[in-house]
Amino acid sequence: MARVVLSLLGMLLPLLAIGAPDLDADATDGAERLAAISRMPKLTLVIDDLGQNAAQDARVLALPGPVTLSILPDTRHATKLAERARAAGKTVMLHLPMAPAGGPYAWHPQLAQAELTRRLDRALTKVPHASGVNNHMGSKMTDQQQPMASLMNELQQRHLFFLDSRTNAATVAAAAAQRIGLASLSRDIFLDDDPSPDAVAAQFRAAVRLARTQGSVVIIGHPHRSTLALLERELPRLPAQGIDWVDIGQMIATRSNRAMAAHGLHGIYR
């Protein structure tokens, strides 16, 4: 009997070995995949001006990946959208109005520091779960040294990051953030200054090219019909194009607060 059992074991063991998973090989394959992904050009997408239209907001929220939602505080759906975005695992940002934008939350150069801080606090209350802030408009504000230095200090105290939308070529906002080591980024491409479908498609292609050239790209778009149609079509195709669509937090880590060549020299903002 013992001989029969040993004979059967002798036949079964080689078969078991053949069918057993090669854990070392799986681990190696996994590490190689991660290494390949780490070398891929990175793309981050932010959609501004949200909270105004529930249908548009829903389409942005349904985009299949780590889209960042930047929500205007003085909009009807701001708080509800921020709650829904958080529940969906999306990053929420406060889209802070700045001069020449108006309204009860807008930052203007002539306002006292106490009023600027009050407006920031109230805006963050309207947009709960915000991880960071970017400027809405701001061409008459982001070139002001003292208010931008003040804003970056306020954000640092609240553990929030800053994205410079770069609505003014003379902006000092990102430089102010960099000086104090605040987690920050600058926008590279606006998708839809011209919202015509052909123009949006051309800007998206330019963004992909820039990602390949400099290793990463930060895109800002708006909930125009043409923009959303393009994103719904093109975003699922990014992996096949060798582009890694990443959350804005990962992009901050990737760039490590360094300016891209278009915005500074040797990583330092102009």
pLDDT digits (tens, 9 = 90+) for 116-168: 999 999 999 999 999 999 999 999 999 999 999 999 999 999 999 999 999 99
Residue 151, SS3 per DSSP:
helix
pLDDT at 93 over 90: yes
Say how many residues make up the chain.
270
Average confidence (pLDDT) over 110-120: 97
Half-sphere exposure of 145 (CA within 13 A, CB side): 2
Q: How far apart are CA 252 and CA 176, in angstroms?
A: 16
What span, in angstroms and rounded, lies between the C-alpha atoms of 140 and 109? 8
Q: Which residues contact 161 (CB under 8 A, 6 or more apart)?
A: 131, 132, 133, 155, 182, 183, 184, 185, 248, 249, 252
| Confidence band of 45 (pLDDT split at 50, 70, 90) | very high
Given this model, what pLDDT does residue 33 score? Answer: 64
Q: Would you place residue 7 in the very low, low, confident or very high pLDDT band (cuts 50, 70, 90)?
A: low
- CA–CA gap between residue 263 and residue 131 (Å, rounded): 24
Long-range CB contacts (within 8 A, 24+) of 150-154: 150/113, 150/116, 151/107, 151/116, 151/120, 151/176, 152/176, 152/177, 152/179, 152/180, 152/182, 152/184, 153/180, 154/117, 154/120
What separation in angstroms does the CA of 198 have from each of 97, 193, 205?
A: 29, 12, 11
Closest to 212 (Cα-Cα) out of 66, 65, 67, 42:
42
The whole-number pLDDT of residue 28 equals 66
Reported as a single tens digit per residue, the pLDDT across 206-232 is 999 999 999 999 999 999 999 999 999
The kind and range of the H/E element at 153 are helix 145-157
Binned at pLDDT 50, 70 and 90, residue 36 comes out as: confident
Would the pLDDT of 9 be above 50? no
Pick the range with the lowest mean pLDDT from 27-41, 102-116, 173-187.
27-41
pLDDT, residue 13, reads 47
Respond yes or no on whether the N-terminal peptide bond of residue 109 is cis (omega within 30° of 0).
no
What tokens were used for 179?
Answer: 């000086």
Homologous superfamily of 42-259? Glycoside hydrolase/deacetylase (3.20.20.370)
